[in-house]
Chains A and B, each alone.
Chain A
Amino acid sequence: MTETPLLSVRDLKLVFDGRKGPLTALDGVSFDIRPGEILGVVGESGAGKSLTGTAVIGLVDPPGRIAGGSIHLAGQRIDNLPAEAMRALRGRRIGAIFQDPLTSLHPLLKVGDQIVETILTHLPVSRTEARARALDLLEQVGIPAASTRIDHYPHQFSGGMRQRVVIALALCAEPDLIIADEPTTALDVSIQAQITSLIKRLCREKGAATMLVTHDMGVIAETADRVAVMYAGRIAEIGPVAEVTRRPRHPYTAGLMASIPSVLRRNATLQQIDGAMPRLGAIPPGCSFNPRCARATELCRTLQPTLGLQAHEAACHHPLVEADHG
């Protein structure tokens, strides 16, 4: 960790102000992404992956609010910026790709116009230059016959093609950081791999740091440099992909890995983790995973484990060690 991180999230706490008081949705989330690095984020539905991304791009809407911690982008604190400054940052320095390409684009505007408008918002170029750039981008993301497609409406594209347009939109001002929230979940399996490798290639080419949220450990293994495993609003484990997948330390991660079918794994039996992730407001004291954990002790039920500062860390009082991986 010699390089300064591009994105640095520290002790991020996000709450929803409800009628029965605040509900903590993110609790002490900390991670870094270095320039050009791809951080995968995995975890069960409701673990807080999307919220983390939303907090980074500064789009947490009431009743949600950031209640603590900090977010730094290239050394500059961005979580408390005035709205207008944050807006100028979004799209320019942080690009976002959302899950559903069918609903991400404005249905009544030509895709080219949507790209041109975004470019003109952020870069000091003329309309003609912006259009040339939009065309170039559409070609880069692999849209065939881009020069005619640029004047088409979103409904004239297939889902996969629309996601390519969404990627072009996210990249059009050359951001340093890309937040991709399940960019392939809504797509056909046959297209998922194409989109994933497109994102990976473009991030590498442009040197953009990326936070890639996904449910697919296969995608993580192929694409990401490091991975963060989230559970109930906290990071359970974070580390280099190879380390975390082969030698998980947190029992939750180990369970997650065991529940994934893999051609590489010899023991063919799929396992699943018993129980369900607690709802917000019903998160147990201590380690939030303790009710489902075979290794849990009294300590786990009282004291919340924390993450250290090493490259590979697990928030666990009784992490799995080398011997456990046989």
Chain B
Amino acid sequence: MLFFIAKRLVNAAGVMLTVALIAFIIFRFVGDPVELMLNEQASQAQRDELRQRLGLNNNMLVQFATFVANAARGDFGISYRNQQEVFTLIAERFPATFELVLMATFLSLAIGIPLGVYTAIRRDTVLARLLEFISVLGVSLPSFALGILLILLFSVTLQWLPAFGRGEVVQIGGWSTGLLTPSGRLALIMPSVTLSLFQITLVMRLVRAEMLETMRTEFIRFARARGLTDRAVHFRYALRNCLMPVITVTGLQIGNLIAFALVTETVFQWPGMGLLFVQAVTFVDIPVMAAYLMMVSFIFVTLNLAVDLAYAYVDPRLREDAVAGTANGR
């Protein structure tokens, strides 16, 4: 197991270094940092002084090493736009995105899995066919369109839900949560539904396909031959066998959700990292962009690692191989 974890950690570090290089190149070469940080009237002396202080005269390799070392400590420099620490800026926005993505993931599993099971085991019913049809629509409907439709219906026409923002938030330590206030929870509904729609259909179709596949296996036939109830056969035997791919896909999709949250956050003016990034782009606020890139990659890589470990936990066969540090297939 230790060997397995170590191997995955080395991979993860490699990926992060590559991303850091890209972020560094953006930071260093998309426009001159000095020009972007100082105003028009700054003197040449001031420029040189800043150039020296930022270490821009050093050897490229040293500059990159410094960049990586700083990033590892969470130091991404100062925002060009409002002179705040980039890290604090992002840290403030992170809880909003996190809660949105968490809720969307929860919805995708809570709705997607039952629908997937239903459409697999009752696949000849009209309802199952209808659900499949809707799932195809769900995939092709862009999320911003759904967001706008929801706003039109529930905010403008019915006036049940707020059209934008996070509602009232409560600070717990450094974390701002909207889950504890009624207005915060109401505000979360439409953004999370919008963000999860694609995910729900994805989970549903994945579960359906895996269930159909599993239902054809010998161990399901044998379970039925032993007279186990349909409930045990479907949920304890078949669904359990489908959970691994679902875990994988869901885990990996959290990264995508964070990325896609950008669109949802823009539509609902949700004060998360995505919105921050969109604002940073409009102001050419390079440090924020570079930091966002690295943070999102870091989350991606961490999730990958977590998925691998979860896999090993769910499948006893993998667990054992991993413990023994061998890879003998079965």
Contact = CB atoms under 8 A, between A and B. Distances in A.
A287 interface: no
B236 to A, nearest CB: 8
Contacts of B240: 106, 108-109
Contacts, number: 78
A230 interface: no
B232 interface: yes
B232 A96 contact: no
Interface string A271-305: 00000000000000000000000000000000000
Interface string B223-267: 111111110100011001100000000000000000000000000
Interface residues of B, number: 24
Contacts of B315: 107-108
A87 B227 contact: yes
A166 B232 CA distance: 18
Contacts of A103: 217-219
B231 to A, nearest CB: 11
A108 B227 contact: no
Given A117-B232, A155-B317, A104 B219 contact: yes
A139 interface: no
A307 interface: no
A122 B226 CA distance: 9
A16 interface: no
B154 interface: no
A153 interface: yes
Contacts of B62: none
Contacts of A122: 227
A49 interface: no
Nearest to A100: B218
Contact of A104 (B218, B227, B228, B320): B218
Contacts of A92: 227
Interface string A166-198: 100110010000000000000000000000000
Closest 5 CB pairs of A and B: A91-B227, A90-B227, A91-B226, A96-B225, A103-B218
Interface of A: 57, 59, 87-92, 95-96, 98, 100, 103-109, 117-118, 121-122, 153, 155-156, 166, 169-170, 173
